[in-house]
Structure 1
Amino acid sequence: MRIPTTSSISNAFSFSSLCSSTRLLSRRGIGICSVMAGERISTDAAGKEGSVWSTLRWGEEAGIGKRIFCNRSLNMRSIVAVGFDMDYTLAQYLPETFESLAYTGTIRKLVNDLGYPREILGWTFDWKYMVRGLVLDKKRGNILKMDRHKYVKVAHHGFKELPKEEKNATYGNKLIRDSFDEPEYALIDTLFSLAEAYLFAQLVDFRDNHPGKFSSDFDYGRMYRDVRAAVDLCHRDGTLKEMVAKNPGKYITEDFSIVPMFKMLRDSGRATFLVTNSLWDYTNVVMNFLCGYYNPGKELSYSYDWLKNFDVVITGSSKPSFFLDNRANLFEVEPESGMLLNTDDGIVIPQARK
């Protein structure tokens, strides 16, 4: 879905790359941001101090979460637009509330829709336990931590660490090793995956300790597929986003630096755009909250002023296929009603180019 305000945009890069070329920007008289600790004041080419865009307080040491790290420089002269994702990019979800909500919803789907034992409804989620970078061995029910050479440093079966001898016998201790790719393995490379990885480990232990509760063909691979199906169902049927929309502040980190960041980019002459897999109604709620327009006292009453921060907003994008399929249809959204304008019963109505 699309809410167009300008023509198409190309050459999109993330904001983290923008601040890696402050010298190039200052030559052109564009406002810049310094990435050094304690220097978060925007300046112009003459070095005159402007407003603080990354924090509301002066002289405060930048925390590790506010610093920008880059591994290459970027000449911003060739960059005409900067694009953003919303979920876990602009909207930083609180794991202790959002991931716990996803975990609870997934368990309910497993019990109510997939027939899992009801005693798992009493399980709890430790949101600090899992980290990104782990690999799930679906066939064996193991969770692996590897180095960059794909050497398995640590392996757990459920929550129980495997002895070194068993680990080496299973995954080898030579340079030639398994590729650890799909479909036999699953990468825990997003924050969305942490809750499902934790639940998978719990189910592995539960199956081992209660074999009579599962049929003989109920293996670890099937449990992983069931967890994935339950997680996807929570996202598709609105279980998670309905709760977040009722109280965004409970599940999303409030960040006052986002709107000044958009302004800095647009003042530099660059276009900005948003591409998210979330649909329009949820995107509108979250962006109202992030841009400071959300009023908890006025339920279902939202502003559309946040749209002025972007030249193009694309919702329901179905990434990553969005970037690969040039034949995908684009529908224009009417903001107030959420209805699609250029469609007739799901069929795209051709429109003249503007």
Structure 2
Amino acid sequence: MSVTAEVLAKFWLAQQRDTRCGAPLSNSPLFVRAMFANTTKTARMMVVCRCSVGDQIFSVTPSTNYEFDYLGQSTKGDLNLNFDHLDAFGMDGPATLQGPIEEVAMKEAEEAKDLLNDLGISSPSSARNSSRGIFCSRTLNLRSISAIGYDMDYTLIHYNVKAWEGRAYDYCLGNLRSMGFPVDGLAFDPDLVIRGLVIDKEKGNLVKADRFGYVKRAMHGTRMLSTQDVSEMYGRELVDLRKENRWVFLNTLFSVSEAVAYMQMVVRYDEGAISAEICPPDYRGLYKAVGKALFRAHVEGQLKSEIMSKPELFVEPDPELPLALLDQKEAGKKLLLITNSDYHYTDKMMKHSFNRFLPNDMGWRDLFDIVSMPYLSALLHGK
């Protein structure tokens, strides 16, 4: 007899005792009875079980207090049998639920725990508290993947956003000043813009759209618009990123400095401080001027020269990242580095971020089978 059947049978016998004592069977918290259904081929026995959580026969593991079992599965929402009710029926709760299946499960749980300890791996219950945890919405079988390509900036090399984008902003404002724009009194505000927002070049706004493309929040210049203003301005209009002449998606951290400068220039434009001689008299022309100033900051070399001279001020190294790539290479994968930075800058930054964490005098170049510079990167990014 299985453990479950044994428990149900004991409950049934206990219920029979309750019935003989005059207790109404239909009001009992758990009711088990045998029913026979005759068919033309066979007779089947059906066991009907009715349980009530309200009567506290079972309790449900709440979402605020759950654990992970030995398979790494969450116990949230699990039904737990209340041993006190088993005791009320004259049964030893823990002893009743022990059986071959439970013994195997407990043994496997102990073996899994010992294996994790031997490998130096934290238990599954600590995964949700990991500072390096990753949310995965799908899985990918890497056995069929023979080559893996990486970008460098903000992928293999993570910059200090405030430091890097702050200096890019400073150089951008310097170029705007040389073009005649009024930039006195402006300062970089990294909290003004985040990646994932969209610039509306037609209205001089920064908008946040939902997954359907409807604008939910908006800011004109540096001023947040009210819900009523947003509704009157956009209504049921959709943000269509395919219309690049109007919408600009801030999809990289490099967009932060540009967006901050643009939104601040919108304020100066609305104040009438920017004349038509400086740029075309609309928000599109203003965006083009800011983009040109930032582009000059990137290509003229002063910004990158400053970063290369003091990379420790701008780069946040990750000691585990080079080792992760080394694991992939030793697993037989071909690794590619694809970047639109020049080789001099790439070599300097990769040496700073990778070489000291690699074993046996390896260099970053030893990790990659192919290193691709501006032309292929521009092609892949559609530029």
Q: Deviations over 1:301-338 (max 9, x none)?
A: xx98221111111122453414779xxxxxxxxxxxxx
Q: Deviations over 1:78-100 (max 9, x none)?
A: 11122111001011110111010
Rounded to whole Å, the distance in 2 between the matches of 1:116 and 1:97 is 24
Amino acid at match of 2:261: L
Q: 1:309 is matched with which residue?
A: 367
Identify the structure with bigger relative contact order (alpha carbons < 8 Å, sequence gap 6+): 1
Rounded to whole Å, the distance in 1 between the matches of 2:366 and 2:318 is 18
Q: Deviations over 1:56-85 (max 9, x none)?
A: xxx99631xx22232222122211122111
Q: 1:84 is matched with which residue?
A: 150
CA offset at residue 116 of structure 1?
A: 1.3
SS at match of 2:212: coil
Sequence identity percentage: 31
Counting only pairs closer than 5 Å after superposition, residues 313-352 of structure 1 correspond to structure 2 as 313-322=371-380
Tell me if 1:272 matches 2:335: yes
1:289 pairs with one of 352, 357, 365: 352
Q: Deviations over 1:28-54 (max 9, x none)?
A: xxxxxxx99xxxxxxxxx9896689xx
Distance 1:318 1:79, change over 3 A: closer
Counting only pairs closer than 5 Å after superposition, residues 1-354 of structure 1 correspond to structure 2 as 62-63=130-131, 66-112=132-178, 114-117=179-182, 120-173=183-236, 177=238, 179-180=240-241, 181-209=243-271, 211-215=272-276, 217-293=280-356, 305-322=363-380
Rounded to whole Å, the distance in 2 between the matches of 1:60 and 1:172 is 40
Rounded to whole Å, the distance in 1 between the matches of 2:325 and 2:336 is 10
Rounded to whole Å, the distance in 2 between the matches of 1:324 and 1:228 is 18
Rounded to whole Å, the distance in 2 between the matches of 1:224 and 1:99 is 18
Q: Which has the larger radius of gyration?
A: 2
Contact 1:245–1:285 (CA under 8 A) maintained in structure 2 = yes
Rounded to whole Å, the distance in 1 between the matches of 2:217 and 2:223 is 11
* RMSD over equivalenced CA pairs, Å: 2.9
Structure-2-length-normalised TM-score: 0.62
Structure-1-length-normalised TM-score: 0.67
Equivalent pairs, count: 260
Distance 1:47 1:157, change over 3 A: closer
SS at match of 1:291: helix
Amino acid at match of 1:309: L
Rounded to whole Å, the distance in 1 between the matches of 2:265 and 2:217 is 20
SS at match of 2:149: strand
Distance 1:261 1:245, change over 3 A: same
Amino acid at match of 2:130: A
Q: Deviations over 1:263-314 (max 9, x none)?
A: 21112111212111111000000100111349xxxxxxxx982211111111
Rounded to whole Å, the distance in 2 between the matches of 1:76 and 1:289 is 29
Contact 1:234–1:240 (CA under 8 A) maintained in structure 2 = yes
CA offset at residue 143 of structure 1?
A: 1.0
Rounded to whole Å, the distance in 2 between the matches of 1:161 and 1:324 is 33
Rounded to whole Å, the distance in 2 between the matches of 1:290 and 1:60 is 28
Contact 2:209–2:239 (CA under 8 A) maintained in structure 1 = no
Contact 1:108–1:121 (CA under 8 A) maintained in structure 2 = no
Contact 2:197–2:206 (CA under 8 A) maintained in structure 1 = yes
Distance 1:291 1:225, change over 3 A: same
Distance 1:81 1:246, change over 3 A: same
Contact 2:335–2:367 (CA under 8 A) maintained in structure 1 = yes
Q: 1:22 is matched with which residue?
A: none
CA offset at residue 157 of structure 1?
A: 1.0
Rounded to whole Å, the distance in 1 between the matches of 2:139 and 2:274 is 57
CA offset at residue 122 of structure 1?
A: 3.6
Amino acid at match of 2:161: P
Rounded to whole Å, the distance in 1 between the matches of 2:189 and 2:201 is 21
Structure 2 spans left out of the alignment, 5+ residues:
1-71, 74-114, 122-126
Amino acid at match of 1:107: L
Amino acid at match of 1:115: G
SS at match of 2:267: helix
Structure 1 spans left out of the alignment, 5+ residues:
1-34, 37-45, 53-58, 295-302, 326-354
Q: Report which of the two has the higher share of helix.
A: 2
Distance 1:323 1:140, change over 3 A: closer
CA offset at residue 194 of structure 1?
A: 0.9
Distance 1:244 1:172, change over 3 A: same
Q: Deviations over 1:124-149 (max 9, x none)?
A: 11112211111111121111111111
Amino acid at match of 1:272: L
